[in-house]
């Protein structure tokens, strides 16, 4: 009887986790298309990385990474979930495709910091910074290749204009992320 009870509990947890992954994927899909084009760059301003920061707090490394992969798959399938309500494989293969793929690395790196340094209030900040840096390197290399520019020139148009906004997003995520995480864990108990 006890094994059956544990099995039901495990199934309920799996169902809840799948549901939350679906919900966070939907949040990314809803927020990401709202973007602001910048005249100096083919990369628009968006809230995608901010929502991913929060998804990692809420879901953890593995589930948030699954969430980002689902988002990318939905966009690759043609749903208008990427910036400026675009979608399709051409968007992933285009100048911003490296940044989109880099979001997976962002979720993995930030999640690693959260899960391997538990109990420390702001351990996700270095994870978010390192995750964004890796995302930027990956995206900038792809942008440079796509546009025929040097890495430095691509860095100037694909990263530098976004650093102040991303710093603000990291600070806000570091403030509200732990509260969301605690609230969700409290409701789960």
Entry pTM: 0.89
Dihedral sign, CA of 84, 136, 60, 94?
positive
Range in 6-10, 65-69, 159-163 with the lowest mean pLDDT = 6-10
The reported pLDDT for the residue numbered 99 is 96
Q: Domain extents for the chain?
A: 2-188
Fold of 2-188: Arp2/3 complex 21 kDa subunit ARPC3 (1.10.1760)
Q: Report pLDDT digits (tens) over 99-134.
A: 999 999 999 999 999 998 876 767 789 999 999 999
**24: Cβ–Cβ under 8 A, 6 or more apart, which residues?**
51, 55, 58, 59, 64, 67
Q: Report pLDDT digits (tens) over 125-166.
A: 999 999 999 999 999 999 999 999 999 999 999 999 999 999
The reported pLDDT for the residue numbered 104 is 98
Please say whether the beta carbons of 125 and 167 come within 8 A.
no
């Amino acid at each position: 009887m006890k094994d059956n009870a544990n099995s039901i509990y495990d199934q309920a947890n799996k169902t809840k986790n799948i549901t939350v992954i679906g919900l966070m994927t939907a949040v990314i899909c809803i927020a990401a298309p709202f973007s602001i084009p910048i005249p100096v760059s083919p990369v628009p301003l968006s809230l995608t990385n901010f929502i991913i920061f929060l998804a990692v707090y809420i879901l953890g490394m593995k589930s948030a990474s699954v969430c980002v992969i689902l988002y990318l798959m939905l966009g690759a399938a043609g749903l208008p979930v990427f910036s400026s309500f675009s979608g399709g494989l051409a968007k992933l293969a285009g100048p911003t495709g490296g940044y989109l793929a880099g979001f997976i690395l962002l979720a993995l790196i930030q999640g690693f910091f959260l899960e391997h340094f538990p109990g420390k209030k702001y351990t996700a900040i270095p994870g978010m910074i390192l995750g964004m840096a890796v995302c930027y390197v990956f995206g900038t290399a792809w942008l440079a290749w796509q546009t025929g520019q040097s890495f430095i020139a691509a860095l100037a148009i694909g990263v530098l204009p976004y650093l102040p906004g991303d710093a603000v997003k990291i600070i806000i995520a570091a403030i509200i992320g732990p509260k969301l995480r605690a609230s969700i864990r409290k409701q789960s108990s």
